[in-house]
Amino acid sequence: MESRSRKPDVGYLKKLVGAGWDGIASARQEMRGGVFSPPLETAVWTPAAVGAAIGLVGTRFLVKRKSASSAAVGGLVGSIVGCGAAIAWSSRGYTSCAAHKAVRLVNAARDAHWLESHPIDYA
């Protein structure tokens, strides 16, 4: 009996994952498909350029061997970090809504599973 309780319940895991995906889909419908609050094309370029500049300047001051390749790598890393920060910032409204809805639906699925395995007798 103990080995049965340790086996993962695949059906339950599917319900949890499905509830999470349903929460994300309902957030997408609520946001009317617009994930990024300012359009991504305009929101990304400035932070990517600032990140690249900081990466270039940072490698010039921090790296002892001042070569063009280390500066290029620093600029590339800086632009990637800046681009990632811009994407995270511009999608924060959608991410918050999707996370709240997914957590709410996953918790409802967990509660339903608990009630199935622990029926309440009022008699």
pLDDT tens digits for 66-81?
A: 777 888 888 999 999 9
Q: What is the pLDDT of residues 97-121, one digit of tens each?
A: 999 999 999 999 999 988 888 888 7
Q: Is the pTM of this model over 0.75?
A: no
Q: Would you call 67 helix, strand, or coil by DSSP?
A: coil
Mean of per-residue pLDDT scores for the chain: 84
- Tell me the pLDDT band of 6, cut-offs 50, 70 and 90: low
Can you spell out the DSSP letters for 20-73?
A: HHHHHHHHHHHTTT--SSS-HHHHHHHHHHHHHHHHHHHHHHH-SS--HHHHHH
